[in-house]
Amino acid sequence: MNRQATNGGHADGTVGKALDVMDRVAAKGRPARFAELLAESDHPKATLYRLLQTLTSQGMLIYDETRQTYAPGLRLVRLAHAAWQQSSLAPIARPFVDALSKQVGETIHLAQMDQGQVLYVDKRNARRPVEMFSEAGKIGPGYCTGVGKAMLAFLPPDDREKAVNMQSFFAHTSRTLTTPEALTQELAAIRAAGISFDREEHEQGIICIAAPILSSARRVMGGLSITASTQRNTLDGLARLRPALTETAHKIAGAAENWQFPD
C-alpha cells in the first residue's frame, strides 16, 4: 500500500477511512441513514457499520435512535473552534476586515484554500450582523468565485494545475467558465492584473472584486473579496474599491507573517 503524502485523495489507514466516512456524512447536509451511506460507500456493510459505531462513540457523529440517522457531532464544533482560531487568518485579519467593511459598506469575504475549494473563514455583511458558522466554514467552488480565482491564480504552477483539474465545472450561470482551458487563461489574466472579478459567474446578479493575500514570499495565504449585487453596484464601481481591497490584503498578509503565538 502507499501512504498519501499530502492527502487530496483519500484513505491511509483506519483513521483515513473513518474520516472519509465523516466527510460523507457531513456532505449529505442532513441526517443520513445507514443504507444511504452504505450505497455511496465502497466499504462492506460490516466495516462501514463499525466505523460509524466508532465515530458515534467518539462524539464525532450523533446517532438519532428513533430516526436511525447519523449526523456530524458537536465534538467537531469544539475542535473547529480551535482550528479557526489557530489556523485560519480570521482572528488576525479581523481588525482589517472590520475596517474595510466600515469603509466600503459592502459584503466582505475572507477565504482560504482547502482541497481546491474555497473555504470561507470570515464574513462581514453590509446589512445583517454576521451569520456565524453558517458562513464561516461554508465552502464554495474555486473556479467561479472571485476569491477562488484570485487564490488559484497565484498558486505555484504545479499546485495550480492540480487544483484546476480538481474543479468540478458546472455552469451555474451563462457566464461561468466551464473548461480547464478557459479557467487557466482567465487565471493568467488575473495574475497579470493582480486582481480578479466575479462577473455573475456563480450567481445571477452577484458580482465581486477579489484579491489574493500573499506572503512576502508570494505564497497564497488566502483571499479577500468585496461582493455586491448588480442592483446596487457595477463592476466599474467595484473596480474603484481596488486600492482599499489590495491595501487591506497587504495589511493582513503583513500581520499574519509577523504573528507569533505568545510564549
With CB under 5 to 8 Å by kind, the binding choice for 216 among a second copy, DNA, none is none
* Min CB(20)–DNA separation in Å: 10
Q: Which is nearer to a second copy, 76 or 244 (CB)?
A: 76
With CB under 5 to 8 Å by kind, the binding choice for 246 among a second copy, DNA, none is none
Q: Which is nearer to a second copy, 14 or 179 (CB)?
A: 14
Closest CA to 4 of 115, 131, 142, 125: 115
Is position 34 an interface residue for DNA (rule: CB under 7 A)? yes
Query: Which stretch of DSSP H or E encloses residue 80?
Result: helix 75-87
With CB under 5 to 8 Å by kind, the binding choice for 109 among DNA, a second copy, none is none
Contacts of 139 (CB under 8 A, 6+ apart): 114, 117, 118, 119, 120
Output 25-31 pairs: Cβ under 8 A, ≥24 positions apart: 25/61, 25/70, 25/71, 25/72, 26/72, 30/71, 31/64, 31/67, 31/69, 31/70, 31/71
Q: Which is nearer to a second copy, 52 or 209 (CB)?
A: 52
Grid cell of 70 as nine digits: 447519523
CA distance 154 to 157: 8
* Min CB(71)–DNA separation in Å: 14
Residue 156 CA, chain-centre distance (Å), reads 18
Is position 19 an interface residue for DNA (rule: CB under 7 A)? no
With CB under 5 to 8 Å by kind, the binding choice for 169 among DNA, a second copy, none is none
Is position 9 an interface residue for DNA (rule: CB under 7 A)? no
Applying CB under 7 A, which part among 28-36, 85-93, 156-164, 215-223 lies near DNA? 28-36
Is position 5 an interface residue for DNA (rule: CB under 7 A)? no
Q: Are strands 206-214 and 196-199 parallel, antiparallel or unpaired?
A: antiparallel
DSSP structural state of residue 125: -
With CB under 5 to 8 Å by kind, the binding choice for 23 among a second copy, DNA, none is a second copy
User: Under the phi-then-psi rule, with left for phi > 0, alpha for psi from -120 to 50, and beta for the rest, what region is 204?
Assistant: beta
Return residues touching DNA (CB under 7 A).
Answer: 1, 12-15, 17, 33-35, 38, 43-47, 49-51, 54, 68
